[in-house]
Amino acid sequence: DGGITQSPKYLFRKEGQNVTLSCEQNLNHDAMYWYRQDPGQGLRLIYYSQIVNDFQKGDIAEGYSVSREKKESFPLTVTSAQKNPTAFYLCASSIRGATGNTIYFGEGSWLTVV
């Protein structure tokens, strides 16, 4: 079945550690995104990529890094520079519409700092 797969679903990070969240899609979508959601809050865009080997910062990119070496994959690294990383992380992908991108989400990854 086509879809967006995120792993792991739950992840615990120690202070000072870098962790990487995986995102793979087999929908043949060009664009991929990472959002962060804090409890009771909306979605905030971290990074996005419209095409392989290219990506742009979103609204809250500090402390995060990404790569887009393959169309299907868009991993997110949460670095030690991100001081408050505990959140629900959502990967998404989209096809490009005539007037905007329709975004579809993976199941999400919960990151907790211990």
Partner 1 sequence: QKEVEQNSGPLSVPEGAIASLNCTYSDRVSQSFFWYRQYSGKSPELIMSIYSNGDKEDGRFTAQLNKASQYVSLLIRDSQPSDSATYLCAVNRGGSYIPTFGRGTSLIVHP
> Considering only residues 16, 42, 83, 114, which one is a binding residue for partner 1 as defined by CB under 8 A?
42
Cβ proximity to partner 1: between 11 and 45 the closer is: 45
Residues 8-27 that bind partner 1 (CB under 8 A): none
Residues 106, 4 contacting (CB under 8 angstroms): yes
CB atoms within 10 A of CB 45: 16
Cβ–Cβ < 8 Å for 4, 22: no
Report how far residue 52's alpha carbon sits from residue 44's, in angstroms, rounded to the nearest whole number. 22
Q: How many CB atoms sit inside 10 A of residue 98's CB? A: 4
Beta bridge partners of 13: 113
Query: With binding defined as CB under 8 A, does residue 104 bind partner 1?
Result: yes
Supply the minimum distance, in Å, between the C-beta of residue 52 and partner 1.
17
Q: Does 100 bind partner 1 (CB under 8 A)?
A: yes
Identity at 25, one-letter amino acid code = Q
Window contacting partner 1 (CB under 8 A); options: 12-20, 21-29, 30-38, 76-84: 30-38
Q: Is 103 in the site for partner 1 (CB under 8 A)?
A: yes
From candidates 8, 51, 57, 107, binder to partner 1 by CB under 8 A: 107
Work out whether 85 is an interface residue with partner 1 (CB under 8 A).
Answer: no
